[in-house]
Amino acid sequence: MLVVAAADRLITYFQAVVIGLLQGITELFPISSLGHAVILPKLVGWDLNQDKPYFLAFLVATHLATATVLFLFFLPEWLRVLRGLGRSLRDRQISPGDADARLAWLLVVGTIPAGLIGLIFEHKLRSLFASPTAAAAFLTANGLILFAAEYLRRRAPGADERARELEHVPQSETSSEAEKRLATLGFREAVGVGTAQAAALFPGISRAGVTIGGGLFVGLTHEDAARYAFLLATPIIGAAALLKLPDLVGHNGDGVRMQALVGALCAAAAAWVSIRFLMRYFQTNTLTPFAVYCLFAGLAALIVFVF
Question: Tens-of-pLDDT digits for all 307 residues of the chain?
Answer: 334 444 445 889 999 999 999 999 999 999 999 899 889 988 988 887 666 788 888 888 999 999 999 999 999 999 999 999 999 999 999 998 899 999 999 999 999 988 888 778 776 766 666 688 999 999 999 999 999 999 988 666 555 565 565 555 454 455 678 888 888 888 999 998 888 888 888 889 999 999 999 999 888 889 999 999 999 999 989 988 888 888 888 888 888 899 999 999 999 999 999 999 999 999 999 999 999 999 999 999 999 998 8
Is residue 163 within 8 A of residue 219, CB to CB? The reply is yes
Q: First CA to last CA across the chain, in angstroms? A: 42
Neighbouring residues of 304: CB distance < 8 A, sequence distance ≥ 6: 43
Q: At a CB cut-off of 8 Å and minimum separation 6, what does 117 contact?
A: 195, 198, 201
- CA distance linking residue 302 with residue 135, whole number of Å: 9
For the stretch 235-267, pLDDT in tens is: 989 988 888 888 888 888 888 899 999 999 999
Contacts of residue 151, Cβ cutoff 8 Å, sequence gap at least 6: none
Side-chain half-sphere of 76: how many Cα atoms within 13 Å?
Answer: 7
Mind listing the pLDDT tens digit for each residue in 262-285?
999 999 999 999 999 999 999 999
